[in-house]
Each structure stands twice: as structure tokens, then as C-alpha cells.
């Protein structure tokens, strides 16, 4: 059967997209580490530092930033940002005020016609009734515009309150991101030497000795090293030919393997 390793990995991760209907995998919930190195194939990409930090987490490593991180995330969750859109009335107020302008012009014209007819000795009555209508329309348009303006102002005030909340949220998000960066680099620092040491032992690695730039090695070698260092319980999809067998792959990764 010809299957794409990515489709198998999608089945392991139970993501709907890119999954192959022929495949179903019943297995433990994949960890964030599995997201990074759970599908090893020749053309894979890898953010090695991030993956290495995740491997450290699977081994229960902690950082001095964890407590603040948990607290900040809790604070962040507590601030709800409204998803319900706020009707801003921008369009309504513009249209209502334009309608008033129009009605004003029409009323002035009607008034002009009444005057004209009177001055030229004609019966002003027909023009007068037209003027009454125009004035009635104007008064309605004005009422409407006042209501629209009030709604607009009220929503501007509500927008401002919502933005205050967004501002607080934004700052917390920034703090979380900073703490995550710090925690990650703490974990990477702790695991750097171990990672460097394991690289030359990775099956099929072209790396000899301990490379000076361990994060520059090819993605497959890095992924195999990271997966070896971390604890993985969901099956790793292996789509490369560096191992002779599924057993050999499983022995290196110390994890269940789907060998393709």
C-alpha cells in the first residue's frame, strides 16, 4: 500500500486535514514533541531548538520561568475578549446626516417656490403643501440623525472599554511569549551538550565527532537525535531508510514506530 507518511502522522494526531480514510490509529495522545518529530521523512523541516526544548519537557524538566508562565496564562484566560462584533453605526450616522442635508435643501427649494408664487400673484397653496411635506421629511430626518449620532457615540464609548481589555490582554500575551522564549532557551542550554553528543551516533548521520554547530545539522538527523532524547508515547511515523527494520527504529527512538 502506497501511503504518505504525513497522512499516517495525521491519523496519529487525529487531525482531520490531510488524513487518509484508509488509516486509523488508536494510540496515546501525541505530545507537542510528537508534533515536531513524530513524522520523520527525508524532506521534513525542523525548528530544532523548539523541538529540543519540547523533548526536555517530556523528561519533566522545569525552568525558573514556569511558575510565572502558569500564572500569566491564567490571568490571560481570565480576560475575555468579546467576539460578538460591535455595531459601530459608522455607516448609519453618515447616511442619516447626509439625508438631513438633502432634506434641508429640498425644504429651502420648496420655501423658494412659495415665495415665488406669492410674488408673482399666484395661489401659493400647492407650493405650501409641498413645503409642509418637505418640512415634515426634514424633521423626521433630523430625529433619525440624532438617534444615529447617539448610537454612534455610545458605541464609541463601548469600543474604548473593549480596547482597554484588549490592551491588557495584549500585554499579557507579550509576557507569555517572552517567558516562553526564556524557558525555551533555558531548556536548550541544558540539553545542548547532550544533543551535540548524540548527533554522531544517530543512524545514518554524516556527522562525525561533535559538530561545532549542532543546530546546523540536517533536519532528519536532528529529529532522530531529539526524538532519542525525549520520551515519546504516541507512535513515530518513520519514512526514511536509515534503519534496517521497524524494530531497529523503535529501539533507537525508544518509542512505538509506524515504519513505512
**Which positions touch another protein (CB under 8 A)?**
82, 85-86, 159, 162-163, 166-167, 169-170, 173-174, 177
User: Distance between CA 226 and CA 219 in Å, rounded?
Assistant: 10
Nearer Cβ to another protein (128/173) = 173
Annotate 244-256 with DSSP letters as a single string: SSHHHHHHHHTS-
- Least distance CB 2 / another protein (angstroms): 39
Beta carbons within 8 Å of 152's beta carbon, 6+ residues apart: 88, 89, 90, 92, 93
- The per-residue DSSP string of 74-88 comes to HHHHHS----SPPP-
In the bound state with another protein, the residue whose beta carbon lies nearer, of 73 and 162, is: 162
CB closer to another protein, 158 vs 242: 158
Pick the closer one to another protein by CB: 167 or 254: 167
Q: Which one, 73 or 169, has the nearer CB to another protein?
A: 169
Cβ atoms of 56 and 194 within 8 Å: the answer is: no
CB of 70 to another protein, least distance (A): 20
- Sheet containing 257-259: which strands, arranged edge to edge? 39-40, 236-238, 257-259
Cβ 84 to another protein shortest distance, Å: 10
- CB of residue 142 to another protein, shortest distance in Å: 19
Beta bridge partners of 258: 237
DSSP class of residue 26 equals -
CB of 159 to another protein, least distance (A): 7
Phi, psi of 18, rounded to the nearest 5 degrees? 60, 10
Q: Which residues contact 119 (CB under 8 A, 6 or more apart)?
A: none
CB of 175 to another protein, least distance (A): 12
List of residues 6+ apart from 186 with CB closer than 8 A:
63, 64, 65
Amino acid at each position: 500500500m502506497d501511503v504518505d507518511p504525513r497522512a499516517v502522522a495525521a491519523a496519529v494526531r487525529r487531525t482531520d486535514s490531510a488524513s487518509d480514510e484508509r488509516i486509523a490509529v488508536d494510540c496515546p495522545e501525541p505530545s507537542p514533541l510528537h508534533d515536531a518529530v513524530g513524522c520523520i521523512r527525508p524532506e521534513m523541516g525542523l525548528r530544532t531548538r523548539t523541538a529540543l526544548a519540547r523533548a526536555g519537557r517530556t523528561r519533566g524538566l522545569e525552568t525558573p520561568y514556569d511558575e510565572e508562565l502558569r500564572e500569566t496564562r491564567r490571568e490571560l484566560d481570565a480576560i475575555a475578549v468579546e467576539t460578538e462584533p460591535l455595531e459601530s453605526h459608522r455607516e448609519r450616522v453618515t447616511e442619516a446626516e447626509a439625508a438631513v442635508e438633502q432634506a434641508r435643501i429640498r425644504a429651502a427649494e420648496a420655501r423658494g417656490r412659495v415665495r415665488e408664487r406669492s410674488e408673482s400673484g399666484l395661489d401659493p397653496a400647492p407650493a405650501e403643501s409641498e413645503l409642509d411635506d418637505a418640512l415634515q421629511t426634514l424633521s423626521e430626518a433630523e430625529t433619525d440623525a440624532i438617534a444615529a449620532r447617539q448610537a454612534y457615540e455610545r458605541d464609541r464609548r463601548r469600543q474604548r472599554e473593549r480596547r482597554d481589555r484588549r490592551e491588557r490582554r495584549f500585554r499579557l500575551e507579550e509576557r507569555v511569549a517572552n517567558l516562553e522564549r526564556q524557558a525555551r532557551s533555558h531548556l536548550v542550554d541544558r540539553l545542548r551538550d547532550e544533543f551535540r553528543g548524540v548527533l554522531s551516533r544517530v543512524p545514518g548521520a554524516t556527522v562525525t565527532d561533535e559538530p561545532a554547530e549542532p543546530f546546523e545539522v540536517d533536519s532528519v538527523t536532528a529529529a532522530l537525535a531529539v526524538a532519542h532524547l525525549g520520551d515519546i508515547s504516541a507512535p513515530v511515523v518513520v519514512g526514511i531508510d536509515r534503519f534496517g527494520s521497524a524494530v531497529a527504529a523503535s529501539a533507537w527512538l525508544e518509542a512505538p514506530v509506524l515504519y513505512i
